[in-house]
Structure 1
Amino acid sequence: MSYPGQDGSAEVILVVDDDRDIVRFVEVNLRLHGFDVMTACDGEAALEVIETRRPDLAIVDLTMPRMDGLGLTRRLRADPMTAALPIIMLTARAMTADKVLGLSAGADDYLVKPFDTLELVARVRSTLRRNQEYREVSPLTGLPGNTRILREINDRVHSGVDYAVCYIDVDRFKAVNDAYGFGRGDDFITALARACHRAVVEAGLPPVFVGHVGGDDFVLVLTPEQVRPVTTRAVELFESAADELYDPVAAARGYLEITDRRGNVQRANLVTLSIGVALSTSRVFTDPREVIAAASEMKSVAKTQPGSFVAIDRRRAEEDDEPFTPPYGIPLQRAVSEYGSDSTPGS
């Protein structure tokens, strides 16, 4: 059975060892288990191979001529293009010192020679899985990232069960970064992550999926019935937390004052949320990217409305090209009404 990579092809493993018998043993067994394999006889040769094709994992011998495994590992970790490449170190002795050397240099795991096929394949798959899980999680919020989000939506698309996808964006987030810097901006993002998490916990069953696309963009995957209570609660929690993150003067007056490069003072209203919703009950989606596109379009509609707003796509497939006015939506918190305003539309 093939072990799929992110694009659906087999994972590529680079085997680096000056012992031809070891290289042949590892290559044959990995290919039998569905992996694609590249080989190199030492660290310098490995760097040349990596220049032509990027592997998904490297199995590196500790002791080699010209450039040994430690030198190669350090070189790979120092290069931003290969810094995240998972590495399994091969050692000839079951000595603690060798293991410590390899791990200290940046190896993710190690194998002691001689090893059998089952252990080899298990170590490779385990290391690849851990690396994949790390890539799929936002380091700022700890929430699943794009790959996991698409997989979750894909599962719903093919489940036959009604679902909704909410695309959440913070309005005027750039003004926060301009006024306070990126550190404070990260605080607003983590506040939204916590607000979404608490809102879905309070919603109970069935469980709601929360993902972090990146920046100030988040995605919820839930049932159509959960859209209103979850988004309403998330907005309430986020706006309350955001008010605490502003400087007291800005929070009291209800807007930020930002001085531009020419010395002009600009006003920016406090952050709100624009939420676009795609519903499987309105039309049949066949690809997760179609769902995201529909929800993203509704997010843009929500941004034309005052305050926090949830714009829900209730068009049928044959109505896609028709103008979407007036919007069907849920005005929340700082908005006076669907068409009233106590703040400018989001941006």
Structure 2
Amino acid sequence: MSRILVVDDEPLIVEIIAETLSPEGHEIQKVYNGEDAIKFLNRDQEPPDLVLLDLMLPGMDGLEVSRQMQQDARLNHIPIIMLTAKTATYDRKTGYQKGADDYITKPFDPDELILRVRTQLQHLHGVKDTDLTNLPGAEQVQVAIRERTADPEGDWAIVYADIENFRAYNQAYSFAQGNKLVQKAASSLIKAIEEKGNADDFLGHISGSEFVVLTSIDKCQGITERAGELFSKLVPDFFSKQDQTKGSFTSVSRQGDIVRLPLVSLSFDIVDNSVD
């Protein structure tokens, strides 16, 4: 089941959309203006899988909602389908520049709406690594890297982040706990980017405990230091009191030996186009 946020100031349109998409197995959430849409998206909860967003909202319009979503590392992978009565090329071009993935013109055909929603969700789930972090997955990371590095003269940096001793932690404490640790790593990276990065920085979850941050060269140090600091504050809660005191934990190596390893931490490798 996918979660879809519908944002439109016309209650009748919202109800028609809900009646059209609910039988498809989707959970529909409803808001009626741009300000409430941003508040809903910024709640400390799992974000929706897709947003149906009216272009001509009162106050904060759909373009501004889309722009703010693109600047948020937690939200910028979510597909946006714009709902509009306008068909002008300018409006569509501006919408795509602000982050819209598709358009549907009101009044719309229910079958067309279902098809467009299905297409965007299929694309999303094809590129998203897992529901664990709700971040873009490996395929979308590759696309983003190609786009960022296309200009050899551009200011770009690729940060590869990983949880050190993660495999050993899973072996010692369970995969369920390991999944929670991955979520904490993701939230630490998101917060670090918000505090120390650029508005258009990208965060993706490749697989397992591996993440990628795309940023500018001057922001790398601030992001990695802050993410490491945030994560290190959360780590002790994932270990027994005994392991916390020792600053290490016991696991079994690939060779079958009993080993004692440091508590998990975030490690970083950086590739950029700076001139030495």
TM class, shorter-length:
0.5 to 0.7
Q: Provide closer, same or farther for how the CA distance between residues 265 and 277 of structure 1 changes in structure 2, counting only shifts above 3 A.
A: closer
Structure with larger RCO (C-alpha < 8 A, sep 6+): 2
- Structure 1 counterpart SS, 2:200: coil
Whether the 8 Å CA contact 2:197–2:222 is kept in 1: the answer is no
Percent identity for Structure 1 against Structure 2: 25
Compute the displacement of 1:268 (Å). 1.6
Per-residue CA shift, 1:104-132, capped at 9, x if unaligned? Answer: 6xxxxxxxxxxxx9765554333111221
- Structure 2 counterpart SS, 1:241: helix
Counterpart CA distance in 2 for 1:207 and 1:174 is 32
* Pair 1:224 & 2:221 matched: no
Q: Provide closer, same or farther for how the CA distance between residues 123 and 176 of structure 1 changes in structure 2, counting only shifts above 3 A.
A: same
Structure 1, gaps ≥5 residues long: 1-98, 105-116, 283-313, 315-347
Q: Which residue, 129, 134, 141 being the options, matches 2:133?
A: 141
Show the counterpart of 1:176: 169
* Pair 1:152 & 2:152 matched: no
Counterpart CA distance in 1 for 2:117 and 2:173 is 42
Counterpart CA distance in 2 for 1:190 and 1:214 is 12
Q: Provide closer, same or farther for how the CA distance between residues 273 and 125 of structure 1 changes in structure 2, counting only shifts above 3 A.
A: same
Whether the 8 Å CA contact 2:160–2:210 is kept in 1: the answer is yes
Whether the 8 Å CA contact 1:200–1:207 is kept in 2: the answer is no
Q: Which residue, 237, 240, 256 being the options, matches 2:249?
A: 256
Counterpart CA distance in 2 for 1:219 and 1:101 is 35
Counterpart CA distance in 2 for 1:101 and 1:245 is 39
Q: CA RMSD in A?
A: 3.4
Amino acid at match of 2:134: G
* Pair 1:246 & 2:243 matched: no
Compute the displacement of 1:266 (Å). 2.4
Show the counterpart of 1:167: 160
Show the counterpart of 2:9: none
Q: Which residue, 216, 230, 233 being the options, matches 1:237?
A: 230
Whether the 8 Å CA contact 2:198–2:219 is kept in 1: the answer is no
Structure 2, gaps ≥5 residues long: 1-19, 26-107
Instruction: Name which one, 1 or 2, has greater alpha-carbon Rg.
Output: 1
Whether the 8 Å CA contact 2:164–2:267 is kept in 1: the answer is yes
Counterpart CA distance in 1 for 2:254 and 2:205 is 32
Amino acid at match of 1:145: G
1:1-347 aligned at under 5 Å gives the runs: 103=24, 123-137=114-128, 138-159=130-151, 161-258=154-251, 265-282=258-275
Counterpart CA distance in 2 for 1:216 and 1:147 is 16
- Structure 2 counterpart SS, 1:158: coil
Compute the displacement of 1:158 (Å). 2.7
